[in-house]
Each structure stands twice: as structure tokens, then as C-alpha cells.
Amino acid sequence: MNYSIANIDSIIFDMDGTLWNATESYAKIWNVTCKEFGIKADFNGADLEKFMGMSIEDIMIHLLGDNRNVDKVQFLKMLGENEVAMMPSLGGVLYPSVKECLEKLHGNYRLFMLSNCSSKGLLNFVNFTGTAHLFDGILTQGERPFEKSENLRFMAQEYSLKCPTYVGDTQADCDQCHAAGLPFVYASWGFGQCNGADWKFATIEDFTRNFLDKNTIQ
């Protein structure tokens, strides 16, 4: 389906790989949690980066494998508790110009965030970066444990969005967005690769410039 930027009334952002890189912080949280469960681990940001966008359960399978000595429910519970305790101070690194671009877009669009992160993940982001005032709503898979496509549909209905678009950096983001019936913006500055996006931009500055000048791309 061909979409026009001129019709877009709201923008929903992914977090990791789209607005910031917090993989080094996540790696520290995983290492601390593994140590508490007697698991030898020395993960770094690159180890986590390749799994960004997946559910936390899937990330655990990739990182820990079939470790039968680990109570996975208790591990995820402790991982979440450690994230709540550690992430507010660890934070992440915003991509260049993200805050300035969000400020510009905020004057022309309703802005939202939606991610497969833990229930406090997006709250940590907006508090750490001082961007809470720019978003009309945030939603995590930790709060609402459904596929991203279902949560996108829910957010669009909850906030009466007529023609939102989702901005993400992975093929999974693109597929889930299209499954929700929404156009997708591929943030190629992020972690992943993507085919089939409706729009693709190399930097958030390019994305912002084109979405503020709605006649440049149809």
C-alpha cells in the first residue's frame, strides 16, 4: 500500500536502536543478574544489540540457551528488579540530535513510544532524557504482554489516532507494524536491517526534515 506523509497525524517511536543505545547498560544488568544465579557471564553491548526488539523471554533463550539449572521465571523477575534499580542511573546514549528533533516534531505531531521492553523501560527513558513532556503516551510489552502489532492497534484505538506511523530499526518492527495495518518508517541509523519499509531515513535529522515538510516525499 502506498502511504503519504501528508496524511500522517501521529508518530509512534520504538526506543532501543531508534532513539538511543542502552545496550552497555543492559549488559551490566544481565551480568549482575547472572552472577546472582551462579551463571558465569561477561556480556557486552554488542552481545545485546543483535537481540534488541525481541521479547525479553526470547532474549533470555538466546543468551542463556537451555540452561536447565535456572528457574527462568525467577530469573526474569530478578532481571526486572535489577533493571528497575540500575537503569535510572545507568541510562543510555541518545543518538545525535534526537532531543532537538523530538522537540520540532512535537509542535506538528502527537508523539508516542511503544516498545517490547519491561514495564519501566520507557519511563526510565523519558525520565533519564528529560523528554516526558514530548510524548502523549507510552506503552511497553511489560505493561501489556501482547505482540507489538496488537499493542500498536491498541494504542491507535486508545488515543483515537487516525493515521499513525511507527518508527523502528528492525525487520521485526516493520513486520509487526504492517501486521497492525500501519505504515512503517525504517530508522536505518539503528541496530537492524529492514526490507519493505514505507520510508527509510539514514538519520533522525533527515526523518524530521521530511516529516516537517510533508510535500517532499509522498
**In whole angstroms, what is the distance from residue 23 CA to residue 111 CA?**
24
- pLDDT tens per residue across span 81-107: 999 999 999 999 999 999 999 999 999
pLDDT score at 218: 42
First to last CA, the chain: 12
- The pTM score is 0.91
Instruction: Answer yes or no: do 108 and 179 share one domain.
Output: yes
**In whole angstroms, what is the distance from residue 131 CA to residue 146 CA?**
26
Contacts of 33 (CB under 8 A, 6+ apart): 75, 78, 79, 82
Instruction: Answer yes or no: do 121 and 198 share one domain.
Output: yes
* Cα separations in angstroms, 118 against 46, 50, 141, 210: 20, 18, 6, 32
Instruction: Answer yes or no: do 15 and 58 share one domain.
Output: no
Residue 60 structural domain? 23-90
Instruction: Answer yes or no: do 102 and 14 share one domain.
Output: yes
Instruction: Answer yes or no: do 15 and 115 share one domain.
Output: yes
pLDDT score at 53: 74
Grid cell digits, residue 153 = 492497534
Domain-located, residue 217: no
Grid cell digits, residue 89 = 542511573
Instruction: Answer yes or no: do 63 and 152 share one domain.
Output: no
Contacts of 1 (CB under 8 A, 6+ apart): 183
Task: Please identify, among 90, 122, 149, the residue that sits at the C-terminal boundary of a domain.
Answer: 90
Evaluate whether 7 touches 182 at the Cβ level (below 8 Å). no
The helix/strand/coil state of 10 is strand
Instruction: Answer yes or no: do 104 and 68 share one domain.
Output: no
pLDDT higher than threshold 80 for residue 214: no
Instruction: Answer yes or no: do 16 and 27 share one domain.
Output: no
pLDDT score at 215: 47
Instruction: Answer yes or no: do 16 and 29 share one domain.
Output: no
Task: Please identify, among 90, 123, 146, the residue that sits at the C-terminal boundary of a domain.
Answer: 90
Of the candidates 1, 16, 23, the one whose C-alpha atom is nearest the C-alpha of residue 165 is 1
| Mean pLDDT for the stretch of residues 182-197 | 96
DSSP string of 116-128?
SS-TTHHHHHHHH
- pLDDT tens per residue across span 9-38: 999 999 999 999 999 999 999 999 999 999
Question: What's 137's domain CATH number?
Answer: 3.40.50.1000
pLDDT score at 217: 46
Domain total in the chain: 2
pLDDT score at 179: 98
Instruction: Answer yes or no: do 16 and 119 share one domain.
Output: yes
